[in-house]
Structure 1
Amino acid sequence: MSPSHLFNRLAKWASRAAGRPLGFVLALAVVLAWILTGPLFGFSDTWQLVINTGTTIVTFLMVFLIQNSQNRDTEAIQLKLDELIRATRGAHNALLDLEELEERELDAFRARYVALARHARERDDEETDRGTPEVNDLG
């Protein structure tokens, strides 16, 4: 098993576990245990350092897990959107894989769609573009 595959499996498992009620309950239990031990350790600097260090380490690691999950989810959504564009009659296949374009190329596409939307809103007749042709043809 490759390190990348192992990390992906670990990231999926950890993000699912952290996002479940039991993950929250365990984190809450750790904080409560820390609070309850305060008087035992005289609310010392070391006692405070324990929670600060622990939460910093967990936060640092969670950033990577969250980013991995978000990257995976975003990629899946982009692929699904690409398939919808590809499968929709009248859709522009040039819009497939837009997320890979440079910023200036995206700006050019965006400007065209902003102009189309403005033109559609300015039209004052019954032919305004409100809805999809496939749905409007059924009624």
Structure 2
Amino acid sequence: MANHPITGALTSIGTWTSRPAAFLVLLAYAIFWIVFDRQSLNWHGAATLLTWAMTLFIQRAEHRDTQAIHAKLDEMLRSNSSASTITRIDDEEPEDIEKHRDRKQQGD
């Protein structure tokens, strides 16, 4: 399942939506909506755009926190020479990482 194309695509989309370019896509969408169909941009449409914006803000905050945790862990792993076997786990899919954690927890 780790090599399934959908899992890689979902991970890429999740990473992409945490980038500033995603906010530009939202802004462009809102501008196109105003220009081409102003009548349908009522309070429901505004709520849709605000919900989308808040989702992007949350995604960005979670991505920032995750990157900070990874940087801290990378530094700890670099200082511990016996931890070199786990340093390449960042390239794995989330499901594979969960399986790896489960195996390690059962071994403890």
TM interval, short-chain normalised: 0.3 to 0.5
The one of the two structures with greater contact order (alpha-carbon pairs below 8 A, sep at least 6) is 2
The structure that is helix-richer by fraction is 2
TM-score, structure 1 normalization: 0.39
Q: Mark the structure with the bigger radius of gyration.
A: 1
TM-score, structure 2 normalization: 0.47
